[in-house]
Amino acid sequence: MIDCGKDWLRRVWDVAPTAIVLTHAHPDHAWGLADGAPCPVYATEATWALLDHLPIRDRRKMPRGKAISINGVKFKAVPIQHSIRAPAVGYRVSIGSRSFFYAPDIAGLPNRKRTLGGIQVFIGDGAVLTRSMVHMKAGQLIGHAPVTAQLDWCESAGVARAMFTHCGSGIVRGKARQLNVLVRRLGRMRGITAGLACDGDRLILAARPSA
């Protein structure tokens, strides 16, 4: 399970994941662990420093920029720009030769081509579609890059598919179907199959066995 926001506070025990991996310490990503966790939790040192108050017993350190294997799935934490107070990472997740990159809150992505090169799917930040919510603070980008900017990153890195999750109120309260058509069109303009993620979506990452 990647991230556990406070709306998962009770439900995380029913989900009973084998491991939880955190992107950053914001409440909507980590405070679902306010009663502890049913499994080991992985986070960077910077994220753990902000989660001292949570009764999580099995705390594991996630290195930055170096892949580790958790139950046969490789996770590589890549530092991204989003918040100064709660430093965030995105995850390049690989199973065999197939990979996706997951960054639910992202303002800027350094080393785009290296980070996204060779992935099958980009799963990004759905806070805003076209309007930028990025600000500059202390020489760093903070906030949320619009979907259009993230699609540009995907295009320049040759990523064929993009999904957007963690959608902002404009999308959640808006007309989901129409907005999804818009995201699909924004993707198509860049040669990318794009769409908004919905609860319950399943993504088949493994290559199909050849007939």
**Interacting residues with Zn ion (CB under 5 A):** 26, 28, 105
Q: Are 144 and 135 in contact (CB under 8 A)?
A: no
Cβ-based nearer residue to Zn ion, 25 or 183: 25
**Which amino acid, residue 211?**
A
| Between 28 and 155, CB nearer to Zn ion | 28
- The count of C-alpha atoms lying within 13 angstroms of the C-alpha of 27, restricted to the half-sphere facing its C-beta, is 2
> What DSSP element (H or E) covers 42?
strand 41-43
Residue 41 CB, nearest approach to Zn ion (Å)? 17
Cβ proximity to Zn ion: between 106 and 120 the closer is: 106
CB of 113 to Zn ion, least distance (A): 24
**Alpha-carbon distance 80 to 95, whole Å?**
22
Contact indicator for 162, 120 with CB cutoff of 8 Å? no
Find the shortest distance in angstroms from Cβ 27 to Zn ion: 8
Report the nearest approach of Zn ion to the CB of residue 180 (Å).
20
For the four alpha carbons of 44, 49, 54 and 56, in that order, the dihedral sign comes to positive
